[in-house]
Structure 1
């Protein structure tokens, strides 16, 4: 029972995190229309992936009879603000944000899979369904960094990574 309780808690936080990611991309799409129009289609594609991920976690939460995490709306609002700001700052800031978020998220997902394997097969299945697309977001955005400036990545990476870690930490405790 304790293992599935942990799995439920993890799924709630992952669900909230996907809501945050959807809103990051939503904010970036709005501002990138002016700053980096060439990235808008990619951002929309990433956003649609995150919507699918959120639906996977929502379905599993519903199956378990669990409510969304208390940090759900905080993730959405914070994500939207982050997306608006980084979208205004251009290609380098957008890419740096995605790389920083996805690096943290991928680390957590791998840890979750190790922790839950053999204890909560449904949670493991849900998490496995999203890993490849999250890796793609990271890798495609990292490729943009090779053609963009270095200022925003150096400034934003530690801030965005620490913020992502903090939101996950908070979500696990709410």
Structure 2
């Protein structure tokens, strides 16, 4: 009888040890999983915040550029074309204004600067003529299309589950496609015949890239 009790005690002790080891294993595997899930969620939030902020700034600046061009060329034969592109930019801006509160993204503090700089760029190039205005469009849209392509690649690489970023991806792809259309429209309307085309477009592209870099961070 005593032998059976001892054997039973040994079995109980073994079971307790196994349960303890199992509890330790579960704790050791569950905590890191939770930690990495939270880390991934925070990283995705930072990516979205940065993208929505800079895209909102870019579309805001584009609206101001077209406003400047319309102020100078609105009554010319180029007016309806510029208005059409501006209307699409207004829709892009509306999209990111809607996404900002939804994803709790903050706007860049540089909007007042982009307000003035965008209008000045649009009006200034329009004063040089319709071809120069189209050259401005080509340069800006080239920089923005490259920027959107980079964002699409980053979003697709940030999570194997594309559904997590589907809404943002769809909107960025829509804006990218229309910006490319604006670029092609500028080429079709003799942008490359503008005075000092290469110097002008390289200068504007450089300014756009600097604005993108700043708006992502400030």
TM-score for both structures, normalised by structure 1: 0.91
Contact in 2 for aligned 1:8/1:123 (Cα 8 Å): no
Shift, 1:66, TM fit: 2.3
2:186 aligned with 1:158, yes or no?
Answer: no
What's the Cα RMSD here?
1.6
Largest Rg, 1 or 2:
2
Match of 1:116 among 151, 155, 162: 155
Contact in 1 for aligned 2:63/2:90 (Cα 8 Å): yes
Q: Which fold has the larger relative contact order, with Cα–Cα distance below 8 Å and residues 6 or more apart in sequence?
A: 1
2:118 aligned with 1:74, yes or no?
Answer: no
Match of 1:87 among 120, 126, 136: 126
Shift, 1:144, TM fit: 1.3
Residue 140 of structure 1: aligned partner: 185
Q: Which residues of structure 2 form unaligned runs of 5+?
A: 1-41, 160-164
Q: Give the Cα separation in 2 of the matches to 1:111 and 1:12.
A: 15
Runs of 4+ in 1 over 6 A off after TM superposition: none
1:59-87 C-alpha deviation (Å, 9 max, x unpaired):
11110122322222222211000011011
2:144 aligned with 1:100, yes or no?
Answer: no
Residue 48 of structure 1: aligned partner: 87
Q: Give the Cα separation in 1 of the matches to 2:196 and 2:81.
A: 20
1:92-127 C-alpha deviation (Å, 9 max, x unpaired):
211110100111110010010000125333321221
Match of 2:100 among 52, 61, 66: 61
1:1-28 C-alpha deviation (Å, 9 max, x unpaired):
2122112111111101101000100000
The total of aligned residue pairs comes to: 171
Residue 169 of structure 1: aligned partner: 213
Tell me: CA distance 1:149–1:125, structure 2 relative to 1, closer, same or farther (3 Å). Answer: closer
Q: Which residues of structure 1 form unaligned runs of 5+?
A: none
TM-score for both structures, normalised by structure 2: 0.74
2:46 aligned with 1:5, yes or no?
Answer: yes
